[in-house]
Structure 1
Amino acid sequence: MTRAALAALLVAGALAAPPAAQAVPASGTLVAVRGHGDDADLVRVAAAGGPVRVITGGRGIDGEPSWSPDGRRIAFSRTTDGGRRWEIHAVTADGRRIVRVTRAGGFALDPAWSPDGRLIAFAGDGGRIESTGCSSAVWVVRPDGTGLRRLLRDAYAPAWSPEGRRLAVTRDDARGRPRVLIAPAAGGRARPLTAGAAPSWSPDGRRLVVARDGDLYLVDADGTGAYRLTRTPWAELDPAWSPDGRWIAVYAVRHGRQDLYLVPAAGGPARRITRSGPDAGMYAPAWRPEAGGPR
């Protein structure tokens, strides 16, 4: 997430309450960020609602979680100096063990664990400049911190396709407007897909959901068939497609309370699954993989 995306936490809006009979997969689990200002932690959230459980804590900001394909670890970005430097870390799902993955000395953000578990893609500046967005590049690194290499310049927010051969990324155009592109995971030229940011793949790899102007849009992986999934007066951000393909998790702000919601991928009213207090909002949802299934 770029600085501009962090600023989007202040976007005001509201999500309509869904019918009570709407079903939610009881076994679905997400990790998200709960916090405000310079204090944010990773928490575990049940898709059916209920209390959240803290995974990380302490000083600083933990953000942008991404599950390992076996659901045992979570990659995330961390800063302890007010946002001047960010590094990628990994924590066990129970929160008991945290290891530092990168040592960029600048910005390392937007981690995304590959479907085979061998790599973590992230957006970073290589420690040379204190900027993200168009000045960042997409890199990959092994979970033990070795094998660092750059894949793509001027891009951020990488998202692996379920089979692991493609990466969806965001790149800002000359006017600062975000655009989603698809690039080969092995490296090579990226092709434009659609306007928007924060891409998330469907479990079958055929479609993506992107955030655009506060709404969600679906688009086929070849760039065709784009349509608007939501049309609301509020902003729906950080979309994350569920492993069963039925739901898209987002965060939104309602009456000053920032919470997580589930939007049906087939269309329909959203369901609120967290109830935050006025001093700590929820954002950056990420679904725990189903056993043996795609992210």
Structure 2
Amino acid sequence: MIYQRDGGEEADLRNEDFATALFRMDLPGRHVRQLTSWSLPVEGPDLSPARSGPTKDLIVFQVARPGSDGLDIATVPATCRSEADCTSRIRYVTDGTGRATSPSWSPDGRRIAFSFRTATTDLNGDVWTMRPDGSDRRRVSTSPTFDYGADWGPA
């Protein structure tokens, strides 16, 4: 099954073992390039809408970081040329101390919204935003229930 977002320019492909990897392709599905290995569990990729600047062609995604019980948010350029090149350019923008999930770019590509809970046993999560490098984190919800699926909505 191929999961496509943002007009089909990126895809999260699942094989029969439910392993995931991030791929980039041109429309209509030509020139497929694998961006992450099958051993790195990738979920919810989102391509930055920025037309210029440091986040242009940057993909943000949720990942279970190797050696950590938490979930992190990471980025990788959609323009890297090979899986090895992409692997060397993956940047973790959260620190593995909680569960950061469901990343979404702001309409201008300057911030990332995400859901965060502090521990695997904590059932309450809030929506936060941060800069693409993980700095300037701001909590934007404080609901007593779990806030999940952070999204900026229409531009």
TM-score by length of 2: 0.72
Indicate the SS of the match to 1:156: coil
Indicate the SS of the match to 1:160: coil
Indicate the SS of the match to 1:123: strand
**Corresponding position: 1:139 with 2:128:** yes
Aligned pairs (5 A) from 1:164-179: none
Comparing 98-107 and 40-49, the one that deviates more: 40-49
2:37 aligned partner, one-letter code:
G
Indicate the SS of the match to 1:118: coil
Bigger proportion of residues as strand: 1
1:49 paired residue among 15, 21, 29: 29
Q: Distance in 2 between matches of 1:42 and 1:56?
A: 5
1:86 paired residue among 67, 71, 81: 71
Kindly provide the CA deviation profile for residues 230-254 of structure 1, in whole angstroms up to 9, marking residues without a partner as x: xxxxxxxxxxxxxxxxxxxxxxxxx
Aligned length: 134
After TM superposition, give the deviation of residue 104 of structure 1 in Å: 4.4
Aligned pairs (5 A) from 1:196-211: none
Which of structure 1's runs of 4+ aligned residues deviate more than 6 A? none
Q: Distance in 1 between matches of 2:68 and 2:26?
A: 29
Q: Distance in 1 between matches of 2:31 and 2:90?
A: 23
Q: Distance in 2 between matches of 1:72 and 1:82?
A: 28
Whether the 8 Å contact between 2:59 and 2:76 is mirrored in structure 1 is yes
Gaps of at least 5 residues in structure 1 are 1-8, 10-27, 164-295
Please identify the structure whose Cα radius of gyration is greater: 1
1:65 paired residue among 45, 48, 52: 45
Q: Which residue in the other structure is 1:33 paired with?
A: 12
**Corresponding position: 1:111 with 2:103:** yes
Gaps of at least 5 residues in structure 2 are 2-6, 51-55, 81-85
Aligned pairs (5 A) from 1:115-264: 115-125=107-117, 127-130=118-121, 135-152=124-141, 153=143, 154-163=146-155
Q: Which residue in the other structure is 1:291 paired with?
A: none
Whether the 8 Å contact between 2:65 and 2:72 is mirrored in structure 1 is no
Identity percentage of aligned residues: 33
2:112 aligned partner, one-letter code:
I
